[in-house]
Amino acid sequence: MTDSTAPVQHVFDVLVVGSGLAGLTAALQLAPTHRVAVLTKRAMNDGSSGWAQGGIAAVMAEDDSFDSHVDDTLVAGAGLSDPAATRFVVENAPKTIAWLQEMGVPFSQEDGQNGRLHLTREGGHSARRIVHVTDATGAAVQRTLIGQVRRTPNITLFENHTLVDLITARKLGHTSAAEPDRCLGLYALDEATDKVLTFSAPHTILATGGAGKVYLYTTNPDTATGDGVAAAWRAGCRAANMEFIQFHPTCLYHPHAKSFLISEAVRGEGGRLLLPESAGGTRFMPLHDERAELAPRDVVARAIDFEMKKHGLDCVHLDISHQPLAFILAHFPNIYARCLEFGIDISKQPIPVVPAAHYTCGGVLTDLDGRTDLPGLYAIGETACTGLHGANRLASNSLVECMVFARAAAQDIVRTPRPRAPVLPEWDDSRVTDADEAVVISHNWDELRRFMWDYVGIVRTNKRLERAAHRITLLQGEIQEYYAHFHVTRDLLELRNLVQAAELIVRSAQARHESRGLHFSRDYPAMAATATPTILVPPAA
């Protein structure tokens, strides 16, 4: 059900912030035993999960193995993936597929083979293990789970509610040697009333997605503003590996196409990357990696970036036109239809593509139960750094990570004795006024995304990172002054979180004196002998 007449304070057993695959899975897992609130800052289906085209990686074929999936993940992670976390996800992946089937997700089947799932292959995988719903897996999964959530009585939905900040015992002055800090709930802005409401619960799960909107070009929806990472950092949680931003190598390049990615599966099914005819029209990936188009995304993105700069190009081409139309319509109906809207018939001509920020591999540091440094606070999905992705995410490992850790966090909460939800103070905005000039927010937002793209993109240098860090410091001062004097808005809250995420990305990049996975530095082009995670510790309050 949906709550439309909100009291000043809401009390639940568990608060879930985010309505993507991770958040909805956690809510459904907890609903039989707990009263759950799901908060999302826009509509239920406006997050990144619904945009996932490729699929969900899981060992389902007889000629595949857990060891092979683990090895592929570790190779893609460039030595930085945690072996225990990787095996935990891989071995629990088939169970999550079975659960989604129980929920009613209509996965693609093999032709003429009753009940056998069609498995595709993507870059970096040594076997066909990608379970999918044609080329719109995320959308199909989201539709199914949103329907289940709306029919579940123990789940209350709060759409258009933006996280302002977490409420902790330390912030309220309620800590002592006998009672350490813990998360007590959160404040959220209700856009229908422009009021900040108080939510109280002994357990809070952050499932707010990544921070792709920190960059000028991204495949992410507008909701990907690093909210969970920033809020957890302010609450005293460590962040890890934030320098590893995955740039999807093939985002549709068209002036009227916003954030539309061309799935990894197109290359998995034979798509070839070509230079435009003006630059020779030749295939170039074999010159960069022996795996050619099936190389991991960071390799492909850097190769495209190199060729674009070498030839002065705005984009390169991805060609799947050698496949029959029937094949394209069966495997990529949504990509075919979307490109056709822009006058591109992918059965007859190549697709213009360009790299774009796609996935945040780092995040809030967690354990295998999704627990953060702050008792009572969990982080799952793209918000979290579980150790799975390491220095680079293997294609289609993200959706399965969402579900595996959502289930793990839910099980940990069920095992935990249920303390009473505390009574919390209301949000105090008695000393602020309405903003007189919103242009400050839009200007700073635009400036941030442009210098992050220019200075902290696919290829980095010390000088560029220093420039970015300097600009971030100035922006943080301006934004904090604005935050302290004016009523909060969603735009202000998102900008505040984006700047915090940008700071963590830049600090992490400056701390890594090597090139590994998604982080490539011209000043440190070699990879260090030992793989070490970057762990940032917030300043003591």
- Work out the angle at residue 206's Cα, subtended by the Cα atoms of residues 90 and 355, and round it to the nearest 5 degrees: 65
CA 94 remoteness from chain centre: 22
CATH topology (fold) of 250-357: Flavocytochrome C3; Chain A, domain 1 (3.90.700)
User: How many other β-carbons are positioned within 10 Å of the β-carbon of residue 366?
Assistant: 28
pLDDT at position 95 is 97
Tokens of 362: 């780092």
For 75, the enclosing helix (H) or strand (E) is: helix 66-76
Cβ distance 233 to 500 under 8 Å? yes
> For residue 74, what are the CA distances in angstroms to 100, 270, 286, 297, 347?
26, 24, 23, 14, 35
Q: How far apart are CA 362 and CA 243, in angstroms?
A: 7
Number of neighbouring beta carbons within 10 Å of residue 324: 10
Q: What are phi and psi of 521, to 5 degrees?
A: -115, 130
pTM here is 0.90
Looking at residue 115, its pLDDT comes to 77
Q: Where are the alpha helices (DSSP H) in 136-243?
A: 137-150, 227-234
From first to last of the 541 residues of the chain, give the pLDDT tens digit.
444 444 568 999 999 999 999 999 999 999 999 999 999 999 998 888 877 777 999 999 999 999 999 999 999 999 999 999 999 999 999 999 999 999 999 999 987 566 799 999 887 899 999 999 987 899 999 999 999 999 999 999 999 999 999 999 999 988 777 778 999 999 999 999 999 999 999 999 999 999 999 998 888 989 999 999 999 999 999 999 999 999 989 999 998 887 788 988 899 999 999 999 999 999 999 999 999 999 877 789 889 988 988 898 989 999 999 999 999 999 999 999 999 999 999 999 999 999 999 999 999 999 999 999 999 999 999 999 999 999 999 989 999 999 999 999 999 999 998 888 788 999 998 889 888 777 889 999 999 998 998 899 998 999 999 999 999 999 999 999 999 999 999 999 999 999 999 999 999 999 999 999 999 999 999 999 999 999 999 997 5
Count the neighbouring beta carbons within 10 Å of the beta carbon of residue 526: 10
Q: Which CATH number fits domain 9-243+361-415: 3.60.15.10, 3.40.50.300, 3.30.930.10, 3.50.50.60?
A: 3.50.50.60
Domain 9-243+361-415 and domain 439-523, same fold? Reply is: no
Nearest residue to 19 via CA among 124, 145, 113: 145
**415-431 b/e (C-beta count within 10 Å ≥ 16 → b):** eeeeeebbebeebeeee
Contact 166, 186 (CB under 8 A): yes
Strand bridging mode 130-131 / 119-120: antiparallel
Judge whether 139 and 49 are in contact, CB under 8 Å: no
pLDDT at 2: 47
256, 250 contact by CB (below 8 A): no
Instruction: Provide the annotated active-site residues.
Output: 297
As a CATH number, domain 439-523 is 1.20.58.100
Q: Output phi, psi for 346, to 5 deg.
A: -70, -10
The whole-number pLDDT of residue 438 equals: 78
Q: Tell me the sheet residues that pair with 197.
A: 188
How does DSSP assign 88-110, residue by residue? HHHHHHHHHHHHHHHHT----B-
Q: Which two three-digit tokens encode residue 369? A: 């139960």
Residue given tokens 């700047």 in the structure block? 499
Contact 335, 261 (CB under 8 A): no
Domains of the chain by residue range: 9-243+361-415, 250-357, 439-523
Q: What pLDDT shows up at residue 541?
A: 54
Q: CA angle, 103 as apex, 84 and 385 as ends, to 5°?
A: 30
Separation between Cα atoms, residue 220 and residue 49, nearest integer Å: 10
Q: Shortest CA distance to 494 belongs to which of 429, 531, 441, 440? A: 441
Cα→Cα distances 359→221, 297, 399, 439, Å? 11, 11, 12, 29
Q: Is 443 helix (H, G, I), strand (E, B) or coil?
A: helix
pLDDT number for residue 439: 84
> In the numeric block, which tokens belong to residue 77?
């992670």
The number of residues making up the chain comes to: 541
Res 520: pLDDT = 94
Comparing CA positions, the residue from 58, 60, 219, 55 lying closest to residue 137 is 55
8 Å CB contact between 377 and 201: no
* Per-residue confidence (pLDDT) for residue 112, from 0 to 100: 57
pLDDT at 158: 98
Nearest to 150 by CA among 33, 41, 18, 24: 24
Within 13 Å, how many C-alpha atoms sit on residue 399's CB side? 29
Nearest to 296 by CA among 195, 390, 155: 390
Is residue 356 within 8 A of residue 251, CB to CB? The reply is yes
